[in-house]
Amino acid sequence: MHQDSDFIEALINKFKDTEGRTMDYQYFTTDVFTNKKFSGAAIAVFPDARGLTDQSMLQLAREINQLQTVFVDTSTTAEHPRLKVFSPQGEAPVGSHTSVAAAHVLAKLGASTEARDAFVFEHNSGFIKAHVDKVEQQPVFTQISLSTVPIIDHYTPTVSEIADMLMLTINDIEQLRYNSMQVATDTRYLIVPLRSLKALKQAKFNLAAWGRTSAASSLVEEILLFSTETEQDIANFHFRLVGPDIANHSNPAVGSAIPAFSAYLCADKKTRTGTHMYSVERGYSVSRQSILNVEFDHKDEPELTVRIGGEVVISTQGSVSVD
4-145+311-320: CATH homologous superfamily? Diaminopimelate Epimerase; Chain A, domain 1 (3.10.310.10)
Pairing of strands 90-92, 116-123: unpaired
Multiple choice CATH, 151-302, 2.60.120.200, 3.10.150.10, 3.10.310.10, 3.40.1160.10: 3.10.310.10
Of 119, 103, 187, nearest in space to 148 by CA: 187
Judged against a pLDDT cut of 50, whether residue 242 lies above it is answered with yes
> What pLDDT is stored for residue 216 in this prediction?
82
pLDDT at residue 246, as a whole number: 93
Distance, CA of 322 to CA of 127 (rounded, Å): 29
The pLDDT value given to residue 78: 66
Render pLDDT for 40-98 as a digit per residue (tens, 0 to 9): 999 999 999 998 999 999 999 999 999 999 999 987 666 889 999 999 999 999 999 99
261 pLDDT higher than 50: yes
Reported as a single tens digit per residue, the pLDDT across 92-140 is 999 999 999 999 999 999 867 788 999 999 988 889 999 999 998 899 9
* Domain coordinates in residue numbering, the chain: 4-145+311-320, 151-302
CA distances from 162 to 166, 173, 218, 282, 304 (A): 6, 8, 14, 21, 28
Same fold, 4-145+311-320 and 151-302: yes
